[in-house]
Amino acid sequence: MTPGSALVSGFVSGFVRELLRGLAQIMLQPAPLVGALFFAGFLLNSSLLSLLALLGCGVATVMARICGCDVAERQAGLYGFNGALVGLTLGYFYQASILIWVLVILGGMASTLVMREMLRRHLRPLTFPFILVSWLIMSLLWLGGWSESTVGIEVNPDQIRVLDGLLRAFGQVMFQENLVTGAVFLGAIILTNRVAGFFALLGAGLSVAVVSIASLTDLGEIFPVEAVNLGLFGYNAVLCGIVFAGWSLKNLGAALLAIVLSILFVRLFQLVALPALTFPFVLASWLVFWLQAKSGTYKPRRGKN
């Protein structure tokens, strides 16, 4: 192998690893294997969403290189995942068109700029850059008369299906309603991080349990069964479980509080008919971080999303 080809090969392999870590960081995992399994899960459900996720992740990663973002943060995938989520969001909510592909590119670039500024200020961005950019794009499309075209799957609106709710909670983190895809996502996390897998399952399970209990009381109408079977109460709870995962009582308490808050925030967004995306997870996590800081138990870790 010539020096030139070796250089190209090294660049390509390094970039691919950054892309895979970017996909993995959607669920706060740094392993390229997790990213590869996530992408396989995308393909099982939708080739279009797979391509849009890859495009958004790639554009955001390239933008991080152009902007001279911290190398360690970039290589850890901390810039790619928000761009991937922008691509998944636009591909899920809107009919594919040239405009949507262009907006995925612009949104991926914008998410990197927001992420860079938040990391520079030593904040915990989580998925907020993606949320901010997606809300802005969706608002502009709404003002331009561009209607959403999502056609969701039909589920049982009367009876809670526990397995469906659990697996779709994992899939819906990335707008995937396929049960097998959700199982792949869960398996990918457990394969590389059993603690995170346990707490993610805790979040999904608690979301199903809360709605199950509510359905037996006068609160049943507040938490629609159809939504839990679609995983709509669970995906933010899954992320809350992962971000606070750990084998101490403090970790467990923080995770449980964040999970419950996220479920309540999801319902609030449903009541006002606004796209929650992963903001319930972000808001619940920020509130718990704030409570930890007030009590002296929170220590910011630079470079973690």
Predicted TM-score (pTM) of the model is 0.91
The pLDDT of residue 158: 66
CATH 1.10.3430.10 is right for the domain spanning 162-295? yes
Q: Say yes or no: do domains 8-143 and 162-295 share a fold.
A: yes
Residues 252-296 have pLDDT tens digits of 999 999 999 999 999 999 999 889 999 999 999 999 999 999 887
Mean pLDDT, range 18-42, rounded to an integer: 96
- The reported pLDDT for the residue numbered 214 is 78
Reported confidence tier of residue 303, pLDDT bands at 50, 70, 90:
very low
CATH number of 8-143: 1.10.3430.10
CA count, 13 A, side-chain hemisphere, 259:
27
Q: Are 282 and 126 in contact (CB under 8 A)?
A: yes
Give the pLDDT of residue 169: 96
Q: How many CB atoms lie within 10 A of CB 117?
A: 12
Per-residue confidence band for 213, with pLDDT thresholds at 50, 70 and 90: confident
Classify each residue of 280-291 as buried b or exposed e, where b means 16 or more C-beta atoms within 10 Å of its C-beta. Answer: bbbbbbeebbee
**Average pLDDT in the chain:** 90
Give the residue extent of every domain in the chain.
Answer: 8-143, 162-295
